[in-house]
Amino acid sequence: ASSPANQTIGSSVDVRSVTKYYGHFRAADDISLSVSPGEFITLLGPSGSGKTTLLNLVAGFQKIDAGEILVDGKPIHHVPTHKRGFGMVFQGYALFPNMTVTQNVAFPLRMAGVDRQTAERRVAETLEIMRMSDHAHKAPSQMSGGQQQRVAIARAIVMRPKVVLMDEPLSALDRRLRESIQIEIRDLHQTLGSTILFVTHDQGEALTMSDRIAVLNAGHIVQVGTPVEIYRHPVDRFVASFVGESNLIEAEVMQKRGDMMTLRNRAGYTFSARSRNAIDVGKATVLVRPERITISNEAGKNSIPVTVTSALFLGEILRIEAEMEGGEKLLIRCSDSAHRGLPAIGGTLHASWGADDCWMLS
Ligand code: ATP
């Protein structure tokens, strides 16, 4: 819908050794993060991990206690919020209730003293991008939550900012609406070219939307990577279990030859794993994603017998919880057609996975 002339060149954002205290509590602990120009980066973490704190520091709503924040190589942490020129969609940053959609979106242009004709054109273009043109004359109270959210995004991007900050902009919406606006924001990012810093605690949202994800825990960044890297090769148990569903199987490395190894689980069954990360012989935790597990009614080479404890039909897939001998749990997700119906609770299945389906955690 927009011409290349409409494209912004996003800025780089460098967070360097930033620390933030609330009293004696360290909410951001020596955080470093480099965001490339035009990148869509998501800050992902559980409640209280410091996501909003980090975004507030970049926005300038709060002051850093140590470190620096640079935009396009220039320090900005002493610059007041309104002079940073960022587009922002924050939860508490609601629409002005007494203004129409057009007036809300035109507000930043008015503040910046943009002439009327240019402003009108810009507002029309932006409402078009957000597919809100038909609602231009409505008041916020006459619109659904999703429509209000789209107007809030329109207001944040109307200045074509080089950096856009979004803090859980979709958390108040139902699942369907959230998923459709996720795709709209992704498309918007392609159209606009701005650098986007996006906060969510929803791992699915982070995987869908981001170029890269920074996973936070207790005021630290524990891993930064593409969605595929984070999902397939988590650095530790925390990331493995926070992003996606996981089986963390306790096992012992019996033998190692090149990158292939033979492991034995607690119940005494052996399986192979290919290790792309350095693991010594000894105890190990093996991550196997539930969708990588194959089940069969017959025992096979390298298969492990499991007892079904729960089986759910979820439409396109079955979600089966089972226990290995010794009680260790195994979660399995498989297509309905592969298994033809739900297995019986208490019944035995034979689970197996390939050496390449394993990721070793130390
Ligand atoms: P959520 O997803 O729940 O919003 P978050 O990851 O965004 O969480 P922050 O809001 O950044 O987390 O909070 C990080 C930690 O700092 C929390 O333990 C929180 O209680 C604390 N905290 C946040 N703001 C303040 C404040 N103004 N004063 C004191 N402590 C604060």
CB distance 305 to ligand 1 below 6 Å: no
Instruction: Answer for the pair 152, 146: CB distance below 8 angstroms, yes or no.
Output: no
CB distance 84 to ligand 1 below 6 Å: no
CB distance 201 to ligand 1 below 6 Å: yes
Q: Are residues 201 and 100 in the same domain?
A: yes
Instruction: Answer for the pair 265, 274: CB distance below 8 angstroms, yes or no.
Output: no
Q: Are residues 223 and 306 in the same domain?
A: no
Pull the structure tokens for residue 211. Answer: 């170029």
Ligand 1 atom nearest residue 52's Cα: 7
Please state the φ and ψ torsions of residue 49, each to the nearest 5 degrees.
-80, -15
Question: Which CATH number do you get for residue 255?
Answer: 2.40.50.140
Ligand 1 atom nearest residue 45's Cα: 6
| Single residue among 240, 255, 286 that ends a domain in this structure | 240
Which stretches of the chain are DSSP H helices?
A: 51-59, 81-84, 101-111, 116-129, 145-157, 175-192, 203-209, 227-232, 237-242, 336-339
Question: CA–CA distance from 246 to each of 298, 337, 349, 356 (Å)?
Answer: 24, 22, 19, 15
Report d(CA 54, CA 51) in Å as an integer.
5
CB distance 53 to ligand 1 below 6 Å: yes
The structural domain count of the chain equals 2
Q: Is 151 exposed, middle or buried (0-12, 13-18, 19+ CB in 10 A)?
A: buried
Q: Are residues 217 and 154 in the same domain?
A: yes
Model confidence pLDDT, tens digit, residues 305-345:
999 999 999 888 899 999 999 899 999 999 876 666 788 99
Report d(CA 225, CA 245) in Å as an integer.
18
ipTM given for this complex: 0.95
DSSP-derived 3-state class of residue 105? helix
Question: Which CATH number do you get for residue 96?
Answer: 3.40.50.300
Q: Are residues 261 and 227 in the same domain?
A: no
Q: What dihedral do alpha carbons 213, 215, 219, 221 form, nearest 10°?
A: -80
CB distance 108 to ligand 1 below 6 Å: no
Pairing of strands 40-44, 212-217: parallel
- For ligand 1, pick from 52, 62, 170 the residue to mutate: most ligand atoms within 8 Å of CB: 52
Q: Are residues 268 and 236 in the same domain?
A: no
| Single residue among 225, 240, 255 that ends a domain in this structure | 240
Q: Are residues 218 and 87 in the same domain?
A: yes
Q: Are residues 253 and 125 in the same domain?
A: no
Average pLDDT of adjacent 10-residue blocks, the chain of 362 residues: 61 97 96 97 96 96 96 95 91 84 95 93 92 93 89 92 93 84 89 94 94 97 97 95 95 89 91 79 90 93 93 91 94 80 92 94 78
Q: Are residues 159 and 273 in the same domain?
A: no
Residue 24 sits in which domain range? 4-240
Q: Are residues 197 and 315 in the same domain?
A: no
Angle (CA) 323-325-331 rounded to 5° is 25
Q: Are residues 191 and 208 in the same domain?
A: yes
Q: Are residues 234 and 272 in the same domain?
A: no
Q: Are residues 148 and 288 in the same domain?
A: no
- Percent of the chain past pLDDT 70, that is, above it, reads 95
| Single residue among 218, 240, 262 that ends a domain in this structure | 240
Q: Whose CA is nearest to atom 1 of ligand 1?
A: 47
Instruction: Answer for the pair 320, 308: CB distance below 8 angstroms, yes or no.
Output: yes
CB distance 27 to ligand 1 below 6 Å: yes
